[in-house]
Each structure stands twice: as structure tokens, then as C-alpha cells.
Structure 1
Amino acid sequence: MKLYNSKKDKELYYYFNAKKEKLWCYRHRYYDALGKRREKYKQGFKTESEAYRALLDVKANTLNGNVKQVENSNLTVAEWLDIWYETHKNDWKVTSRKQRELAIKYQMKPLLGKYKLVELDKTTYKRVFINKLLEKKYKPSTVQLFHRLFKVAINAAVDDEILPRNRFNKISIPQDDPKDNFLTAEELSKLLAAAKEHENDTNYTFIFTLAYTGLRKGEALGLQWNNIDFNAKTITVERTRDNKGIRTPKTKNSYRTILIDDIAIAQLEKYKKWCKKIKLLFIFIIYIRTHSFNGSINYE
């Protein structure tokens, strides 16, 4: 393909494609961080002005030392997500790593993977990612989680000097309906009554403890008897546990001591007497069913 020089800039050219259409391109030569000579080439611009603006952006980036932005201009979102995950996966807790792996595989890549990382704009992101997830009937809080995870990946690209900034901040996402996030007193009473009638002592006390303390299930599963002070009527959270193992709490604020009432103390004392027969390290242990309680509460 023969290139013809533009009069506007020595690195700007025009050419004719197979359909004899006149198109524009640029070829910018620069030195990378190691002093090696490089060339950035891009074609397919329909006008000289469009090609010239793109060339000026490339020149500005190389002059300002933003060579990585130039070299990675063709990097797709999918490619960056793979780089980000493989680079940082060993820095994350097991649950965070699995959460990010699944979000990349099932939400981010299918909806955003084909876009070039440097070209994905805020409007497109809102339209093809946030709105599409909401249309798929994900809860707003779940969509907010995917959005936060994507911003973490973008912040890593900024730290790596591939992007100049994170343009996906300040995106509005609806809030969950508060009515969907808790049980009424009547509903909770029915749940506890059903659990007491149909479940064994461990299952019932586990559900009872969650209801009366507000602990997360992983926090409750991590409790040992020395975490309960029956005289002071407190529970101290200092670890979490699930089918992936035992870990420290996710944040400093997750380490805490909470007060519990007489009803909760009475149930836990009753359960402790039953547990003395088997002498296990953790308060809540189950032997036969290790998958879930009613399909939602995982413990072992």
C-alpha cells in the first residue's frame, strides 16, 4: 500500500484502499523507556483532521513520558483483565480471588472484553455494562459490587501508567429496595420456629446466632468457645471460616466485640452443654451435610 505525505505533518499520510477510497493514517517514531526506537502506526481514519488529532495525542503522550499509554493503545479490556488477575491473584484472600475470577469470566469479559482499554468511555461503560446488568435483573447492590471490582482493575491500569486516570468514577447506580434486605419481626419469628422444629441443634443454634447477633455466616463459623464471654455477654470476632479454609477477617473493622442479650446467651449455654460431649474446636461443626443449609448457608 503506497502512502502519500500530508502537508500538515511529516508523520501524517493518506492512501487509497481496495475500493479506491481515500483514507488517512499516521506513523509516529519515538524512543521507549529503554532508549529503543519504536514506531506507532494507525490507519483507517476517514479525514485528515481525525488522523491529525490522533497523532497529536500520541505525540503528547510520548513527549510527556507516557510511553506505556502509546504502546498499549490496542490492549483490549479482556487482555488487561487477564494481566491484572494473573499479576495480583496471589495478593488477594481466597474469597476475593474467586469473586474476581468469576466476575471477570461471567460479567466483565462478556460485556466489555472486546473494547480497547484506552477507548472505553464512561457513556459506553454505563450503557453496555451497568445498564445491561440491571436489565438482567441483578440486584443494584450486586451491580455496585461488579462496578467496584472493575474500578479496582482500572486503578491498577492507572498505577501501571497504561491509563492516565480512572474515568469510571461517579457513576450512579440505583439502590436496593430496603424492603428486600431484611426480615420483619414476624418473618424472623417464623424462620426460627421452623428451624427449631425441622433442624438439628447445630443448625438451629447457627441460624439463631446469625439472627440475634448480625454476624456474617463466615464470622459465625469461625467462632470458638473462647470467643464467647458468658459473664460479660459478649462475642469477639477474630476469624472467618468457610469451605475454603480459615482466614483473618477482611478488614480491621471486622475485628470486633459485640454485646448479646440474655436470650442469645441462654441458647448458646444450652448448646454448649450439648457440645461438651464431642469437644470440638469450633462452635458450629456439621458432619454429614457439608454443602449447604437450605441451599444458602455453607459451612462444614
Structure 2
Amino acid sequence: MARYKMTKTKKDSIYKYKDAAGNTKYAYRYKFYDKFQNRQEKSQQGFSTEQDAERALIEVKADILDGNQSYVTSANYKLIDWLTIWMDANKTNWRIGTYELYERHIRLHISPLIGKMKLTKITNMVMQRDLINPLIEKGLSQRTLKSVGRIVIAALNSAVDERIIRNNPVTKLDYGKFNGKKDGNYFSEEELKLFLNYVYKTEPTSYYTIFLTLGMSGIRKGELAGLRWSDIDFENNTITIERTRANKKVGPPKSDNGYRTISINKILINQLKKYKVWCIQNKWEKQMTVEKDSYVFIDRYKFTPISDTYVNDALDYLLEKCTYDLPRITPHGFRHTFASILIANKIPVVSVAKIIGDHPTTVMNVYAHSLSRVEEETVELFNHFNIGEG
């Protein structure tokens, strides 16, 4: 509460004051004891009339008498405060990939736009105007927009369950019309070749192996970080995905479909062999060893397992230096690139889903842009029949 000179009115706990513009405003300041017999004070200012201030005070008193003190004591919660509490409470219940996705959307999109807003001030219109519309203008895909919206809605529902707010006012959001625009988070096949060639010339061991693996296997960043040498079969040219690693924790893959063994090409298997020799040599100099269950990908300076931000930082660094005009993508974009290339080469959706560890329906939804091109090409296959022209 801004420090204005308050004058007590004849109404109990109601005050009046002059704001910065010289207008008469009203406020209430109500002292009470919580259920632990600790002295508390609830206050609010900015009311235009004495009656408005008194009406709001009556609601506060009613909540306290009804035992709903949590509505009173938590009324000043900001959205980011509650999101932090909500995320912390659920981090052991969610899959690591889910937690990482939520954390990224909160950090990049939600917090900068509406993080400082009080929970009680969030409405359907506020969400649309201050969060969704600006993200639409930034060009985010519908899929990302819906993911961001679902996070806030789920957090608000949890706040209702915990009696932080009375209800969730966000009922329906408009994510704009789908305009056929790609998600934007992938390279074309030619762009992938240019990027990998650049990385090979710039940093032919650690960084190159990481992005070659992402680009030629379609595995997720967390799956990459969780790979152990025992997961790589150099005789049969396969990689087995059994875990994911993020936030210094190891967990299962994103879904049951995530458990899989995939075949990899000779380019990748040969690079992994070279990389293993590099790991052994560098760790030996630091009196460290490469064991069967050692994590494959390590920091190129510390030689310890890569951190959560290691791949992102490496990608940002390389794209910043790269002389080619390449789009800015995230590590997950290599997964999109891999799947799109497979689909463009007419690999069946079921096979693509099995390789990348997703459900076929998810593949069809996410990679609709690639599938539509394949459908158009498939139709053209029959043009040479020339039926009825003989």
C-alpha cells in the first residue's frame, strides 16, 4: 500500500486519503487473528467510495468467519509466486520432460508477460489480451500457444483446489486461426546438412557428436543426456532409449512409447566410436575413467555429464557464429527435422512414430505439414496412366 496520509472515517476500519492526483479515495485496514492465533492485517486501497471499501471489507470479514482465511491471506499472490509453488509441488509427480517443458514456457512466455499479475486479477480477457494475443503476434505456432494456455489454466485450477482463489475465470481462449505456418522449430534437409558441416569444421568432436546424434536419431534432449555407453551397440549399430535426464534427475522416457531401440547409420556409429576414444583420452588425463554405465555426453572442459543448459548453450553459440543464414531452432528442433525428413521420404507414419518414440496420432498432428506434401506427391504418381486416351 502506497504511503498516503490516511484519515479514519466514522466507519470501523475504513480510511480516506488523497491520491497523487488529489482525488479522494478510500481504503480498509482490518486486523484479525488467523487459525494459529497469529495477528494478521488485511488492507486494500483505491476505492472510489466509502461504500465500495465497506463492501469489500464485509467480504473479508465473512471469509474469516466462515473459516476461509486462505482467501484472505493469499489474496496478494502473484501468478509467478503460485507457479513456483505449483511447479515445486509437482516436480516429483511429473515426467522430467513435462517439467522441463512447463519450466521453459513459464520462463520464456508466461512470466515476462503476466508473471507479476495477482492471481485475483487474472480473467479470461486478461489472459487473451496480455498473454495469448502478444504470443500470436510473435508468430508462435498454435501448438505452442495451446501448451502455454494449458499451463496457466492447470495452475489456476490447482489454486482453486488449494483455496487460494475462489474459481478459475479462464474458460475459453482464442488461439487464432491455423494458417498452415510451420512450427518454425526445424531445419530443412539442406539446412541440416549445412549446419552439421559447419559444426564439423568448427568443433569436430564434442559439439559435432551431440548434434549429429540429435539430427540422425530424432531422440529428445533429455534422452540424449541420459544415454550411457551400455545403451550403444557398436556391433549391431543401435541405440537403446531407457531413460531421460534433466534437472539433475534421472527418470523414465516421456511415455511408454519412449522405450525403444533404434537403428543408426554408419556415419553416426563411426562418429560415436571416435567420440568414445576422445572421452577415454581426456578423462584419463584427468584421472577419470569411462565405464560401461558412464554417461555418453560430457562437458568438453570439465568432462562431467552435460548439464541441462549445455546443449542449448552450444546451439546458441554455434548459430551465432555460423556464416550460413539458418533459422534459430532449439535442440528439440532436430527431432522435428529428423521426423520431417523421414516423412518427406515416404517412411510410414507408424514407423516414424516407433523410431522417435511417439504415438502415430501425435506424429500425424505435429507433422501435418510434411504429410500433406507427401499426399500431394502420391496423387501425382497416377498421372501416367492416361486412361481413356488410347
State the TM bucket, normalised to the shorter chain. 0.5 to 0.7
Matched, 1:270 2:270: yes
- CA 1:254/1:292 → structure 2, altered by over 3 Å: closer, same or farther? farther
Give how far 1:47 is off.
4.8
Structure 1 residues 83-94: aligned runs within 5 Å:
85=84, 89=88, 92=91
Bigger mean CA offset, 274-283 vs 126-135: 274-283
Mapped partners of 1:247, 1:226: distance in 2: 16
Identify which of 9, 17, 31 aligns with 1:3. 9
Question: Which amino acid in the other structure matches residue 132 of structure 1?
Answer: P
Q: Which residue of 2 aligns with 1:236?
A: 240
Q: Which residue of 1 aligns with 2:168?
A: 166
Q: Does the aligned pair in 2 maintain the 1:219–1:240 contact within 8 Å?
A: yes
Structure 2 unaligned spans of 5+: 1-6, 281-289, 303-309, 320-329, 332-390
Mapped partners of 2:299, 2:32: distance in 1: 64
- CA 1:232/1:164 → structure 2, altered by over 3 Å: closer, same or farther? farther
Q: Which residue of 1 aligns with 2:314?
A: 292
Identify which of 183, 202, 225 aligns with 2:187. 183
Give how far 1:101 is off.
9.2
Matched, 1:126 2:128: yes
Question: Which amino acid in the other structure matches residue 130 of structure 2?
Answer: V
Q: Which residue of 1 aligns with 2:215?
A: 211
Q: Which residue of 1 aligns with 2:348?
A: none
Q: Does the aligned pair in 1 maintain the 2:27–2:43 contact within 8 Å?
A: yes
Q: Does the aligned pair in 2 maintain the 1:28–1:41 contact within 8 Å?
A: yes
Mapped partners of 1:276, 1:24: distance in 2: 71
Q: Does the aligned pair in 2 maintain the 1:85–1:101 contact within 8 Å?
A: no
Give how far 1:67 is off.
1.9
Mapped partners of 1:29, 1:50: distance in 2: 19
Mapped partners of 1:189, 1:21: distance in 2: 66
Mapped partners of 2:52, 2:161: distance in 1: 29
Question: Which amino acid in the other structure matches residue 256 of structure 1?
Answer: Y
Q: Does the aligned pair in 2 maintain the 1:76–1:114 contact within 8 Å?
A: no
Mapped partners of 1:231, 1:87: distance in 2: 46
Give how far 1:254 is off.
7.4
Q: Does the aligned pair in 2 maintain the 1:81–1:153 contact within 8 Å?
A: no
Query: Quick one: higher RCO (CA 8 Å, sep 6+), 1 or 2?
Result: 2
- CA 1:60/1:172 → structure 2, altered by over 3 Å: closer, same or farther? farther
- CA 1:231/1:204 → structure 2, altered by over 3 Å: closer, same or farther? same
Give how far 1:163 is off.
0.7
Structure 1 unaligned spans of 5+: 6-10
Q: Does the aligned pair in 1 maintain the 2:14–2:54 contact within 8 Å?
A: no
Mapped partners of 2:269, 2:104: distance in 1: 41
Give how far 1:216 is off.
1.7
Question: Which amino acid in the other structure matches residue 46 of structure 1?
Answer: S
3-state DSSP class of the match of 1:292?
helix
Structure 1 residues 1-300: aligned runs within 5 Å:
1-4=7-10, 32-34=34-36, 42=44, 44-47=46-49, 50-51=52-53, 54=56, 57-58=59-60, 61-62=63-64, 64-73=66-75, 75-77=76-78, 81-82=80-81, 85=84, 89=88, 92=91, 100=103, 103=106, 111-112=113-114, 115-135=117-137, 146-151=148-153, 153-174=155-176, 177-178=181-182, 180-192=184-196, 200=204, 203-229=207-233, 234-240=238-244, 245=248, 247-249=250-252, 251-253=254-256, 255-260=258-263, 264-275=264-275, 277=277, 279=280, 280=290, 281-285=294-298, 287=300, 292-293=314-315, 294-295=318-319
Bigger mean CA offset, 50-59 vs 164-173: 50-59
Mapped partners of 1:173, 1:32: distance in 2: 42
Alpha carbon RMSD of aligned pairs, Å?
Answer: 5.0
Q: Does the aligned pair in 2 maintain the 1:89–1:97 contact within 8 Å?
A: no
Q: Would you say how many aligned residue pairs link Structure 1 and Structure 2?
A: 285
Give how far 1:68 is off.
1.3
3-state DSSP class of the match of 1:129?
helix
Mapped partners of 1:117, 1:110: distance in 2: 15
Question: Deviation per CA, 1:165-210, whole angstroms, max 9, x where unpaired?
Answer: 3333533334693262433344445545555666525554443332
State the percentage of identical aligned residues.
Answer: 29
Mapped partners of 2:221, 2:259: distance in 1: 15
Question: Deviation per CA, 1:57-109, whole angstroms, max 9, x where unpaired?
Answer: 44553454322112333x151xx6346637864874899589749946x7656
Q: Does the aligned pair in 2 maintain the 1:237–1:254 contact within 8 Å?
A: no
- CA 1:100/1:65 → structure 2, altered by over 3 Å: closer, same or farther? same
Mapped partners of 1:3, 1:21: distance in 2: 16
